[in-house]
Amino acid sequence: MPMFQEPIDTVLARETVDTLRLLAADAVEQARSGHPGTPMEAAPIAYLLYRRHLRHAPRHPDWPGRDRFILSCGHASALLYSVLHLSGYDLPLDELKNFRQLGSRTPGHPEYGHTPGVETTTGPLGQGFAVGVGMAMGARYLQQQVDAELFDYRVYALCSDGDLMEGVAAEAASLAGHLGLGNLIYFYLDNHITIEGDTGLAFSEETATRFLAYGWHVLRVEGENLAEIDTAILCAQRDPRPSLIIARTHIGQGSPNKQNTAAAHGAPLGTEELRLTKQALGRDPDGFFEISKAVAAHMRVVADRGDELVRRWRQQLESRRGTPSLSTWMQAVEQGLPDDWRGALPRYFPADGPMATREASGQVLNALAPRLPFLLGGSADLAPSNNTALRDQGAFAPGFSGRNIHFGVREHAMGAVLNGLAHTPGLIPYGGTFLIFSDYMRPTLRLAAMMGLAPIYVFTHDSIGLGEDGPTHQPVEQLAALRAIPNLNVLRPADAEETAFVWQSAIENRQRPSALILSRQGLPILDRSRYGAAQETLRGAYVLADAEGALQVLLMASGSEVSLILQAREMLQQQGIGTRVVSMPCWELFEEQAPDYRQSVLPPQCPFRLAVEAASPFGWERYVGDRGAILAMQGYGASAPAQQLMEHFGFTVSEVVKRALLLLQESG
């Protein structure tokens, strides 16, 4: 049965559907910008979901037990805002009138944290589709680990042709079918239109067959037939597979001259066409943002029903509060990390090394897993190389028994799934691949940073030091590209000790994503009795070894190059040149420190600075200044053993010393 069991009042339902259509069209017209066509065609689906099927609570939009709705075709945002307004969310009509305007809560594409009722930021097509898979996986994990009834929620999404054409959706759909995510119910708006014209120009596949091959449950409905859509939703809710409901819709539904044309997609209908549309729908052609009392009353019950759902859910929660797993989850959500978790961080000493930071990372993960039961993740088929497997924790597979996620060779989908998991209260998700393949994940990384989500990315094989795989696998520009993303912490530790602390930083920071950049090759574990404390890693940069005598030159690096500049310092000091070494594992954290601290690490009175990094030099200019220099990669790598490559490209002690001396000679 529908979530709220009453027969469909066809007359009132139709009036509400048309109200949604026209509110969206009016918003676009008022803004003189936007996409009216998709909101107009999808209004019946939105109405049935929000009025009859979604378990949601407009006055409690963050209630953990709610169903999730994702507008994957984010350009149809005017529809989402309209149905949120009618349903009783804190989104006044004036916000619809300010659609796409500066400071409004109704931006051009839905933005998480900006508008109540928006579950995730969408815009780049396919992302919402894939994030929803992660949300469904998160629900399954909470069901299995915490409580099967409290987290028995579904994830619904509205998708367009563009969503299904994007590769990220294909990867995610394949994974969802494999996992049998029966809590996924997606609608595909089969309107035969894209921006350039008929979909036949570029899209002629049999979508239903493709999704059947993925292992999905597929249904077909007419997009204007409320009874068919309602029945299809009920059928999908009962099926153990993820469901795709293909709705044959008509873009710009109701517009006399623009329905079924690309002209309805990405531009306002225009004053005259909007008048004709209202007239065709039996409305006042000169009315604007009109909502009848009958429609308002019809939708007003949604918020009251939501209050009752929340009340009953909280009663269930209280009745089970003593359950250990539920208590642990509630602590994670309400209080954050357990008090004793840092005590599990391993310590490392020179006698333990040399050790690749990817290996140390794996050890840290496994040390923390028993203390952090909601830490889960895996790799894009690279767990043995990324060291991301959690020992004795089982696989997240059909049946959902474990914490090790096998994403398969699906980096695009992995990034989006991590975002969906990060949307799930209490979870700390991570995912690994080689740094070079972070390029596949850039859209999802950017969206995570934009939303303030906190997935942890384990990027290994971080430089030309990975060796024989050659330039196709050796990252050069990736570090600079990641550092260019606002609100993303990029952490490249110099040894195993720093690795433990970059993990601490990533886990403690729940307001932004963290990218851990780790080596394939072994690195010496630094002697902290001689050098700066590894805990200073949490400040982003610190003095690892100070000058003996007056400071004359400053060497700085991240990752594997830190031990290199330490050796160079020894040689420079032997020549009587006071040399400071600064380890800079995370620029972003360093920039957040007080100015006095930053100047104490990089004193302005020492302009002779050399930055060393086996990657693109881009970005280091801010730290070396006008009188400094950068030793970095100027092109791509080559296929050879790691040590030969380092020597070939100039990452040697002698070259660092030579460059430092040259700085001093040029100074006068």
Give the phi and the psi of residue 248 in degrees, each rounded to 5: -75, 105
Q: What is the pLDDT of residues 7-25, one digit of tens each?
A: 999 999 999 999 999 999 9
Q: What is the rounded average pLDDT for all residues in the chain?
A: 97
Q: CATH 3.40.50.920 in the chain, residues?
A: 535-666
- Spatial separation of the C-alpha atoms in residues 47 and 253, rounded to whole Å: 15
- Spatial separation of the C-alpha atoms in residues 160 and 41, rounded to whole Å: 11
**Helix-then-strand count for the chain, H and E:** 24, 19
Tokens 């517009």 locate to 255
What 3-state DSSP class applies to 120?
coil
Distances (CA, A) of 110 to 34, 119, 291: 13, 9, 23
Q: Which amino acid is at 530?
A: R
Q: What is the mean pLDDT of residues 476-495?
A: 98
Q: Does the structure show a pLDDT above 90 at 51? A: yes
- Spatial separation of the C-alpha atoms in residues 297 and 387, rounded to whole Å: 57
Number of Cβ atoms within 10 Å of the Cβ of 202: 11
Give the phi and the psi of residue 537 in degrees, each rounded to 5: -50, -35
Catalytic residue of the set 224, 411, 497, 498: 411
Contact between 280 and 254 (Cβ < 8 Å): yes
Distances (CA, A) of 336 to 340, 362, 372, 374, 502: 12, 23, 11, 11, 18
Partner residues linked to 222 by β-bridges: 248
CATH architecture of 535-666: 3-Layer(aba) Sandwich (3.40)
Pairing of strands 155-159, 68-71: parallel
Q: Does the structure show a pLDDT above 70 at 605? A: yes
Query: pLDDT tier at 251 (50, 70, 90 boundaries)?
Result: very high
Instruction: Reply yes or no on whether 411 is catalytic.
Output: yes
Number of Cβ atoms within 10 Å of the Cβ of 317: 16
Q: Count the alpha carbons within 13 Å of 589 in the hemisphere toward its beta carbon.
A: 26
Distances (CA, A) of 374 to 25, 150, 329, 415, 589: 44, 17, 8, 18, 25
The vertex-541 CA angle with 539 and 543, nearest 5°, equals 115
Q: Does the structure show a pLDDT above 80 at 99? A: yes
Write b or e for each residue in 487-497: b if 16 or more Cβ atoms lie within 10 A of its Cβ, otherwise e.
ebbbbbbbbbb
- pLDDT for residue 2: 46
Q: Which of 642, 609, 635 is nearest to 523 (CA)?
A: 642
CATH 3.40.50.970 fits 341-517, yes or no: yes
Q: Does the structure show a pLDDT above 50 at 113? A: yes
Contact between 652 and 664 (Cβ < 8 Å): no
Q: What is the mean pLDDT of residues 474-491?
A: 98
Q: What is the pLDDT of residues 363-389, one digit of tens each?
A: 999 999 999 999 999 999 999 999 999
What 3-state DSSP class applies to 355?
strand
Distances (CA, A) of 176 to 131, 228, 315, 381: 11, 25, 32, 16
Distances (CA, A) of 295 to 58, 83, 245, 286, 298: 17, 11, 27, 19, 5
- Give me the percent of the chain exceeding a pLDDT of 90: 97
Contact between 283 and 18 (Cβ < 8 Å): yes
Angle between helices 653-666 and 561-574 (to 10 degrees): 60
Q: What is the mean pLDDT of residues 215-224?
A: 98
Please return the burial class of 596, using the count of CB atoms within 10 Å of its CB with bins 0-12, 13-18 and 19+: exposed
Q: CATH 3.40.50.970 in the chain, residues?
A: 10-311, 341-517
Query: pLDDT tier at 666 (50, 70, 90 boundaries)?
Result: confident
Q: What is the DSSP string of 548-612?
A: SSS--EEEEE-TTHHHHHHHHHHHHHHTT--EEEEE-S-HHHHHTS-HHHHHHHS-TT---EEEE
The CATH classification of domain 10-311, taken from the options 3.40.50.1100, 3.40.50.970, 3.30.930.10, 3.40.50.2020: 3.40.50.970
What 3-state DSSP class applies to 48?
helix
- pLDDT for residue 3: 57
Q: How far is CA 648 from the centre of its chain?
A: 38
* Cis preceding linkage at 354, omega within 30: yes
- Spatial separation of the C-alpha atoms in residues 290 and 331, rounded to whole Å: 46
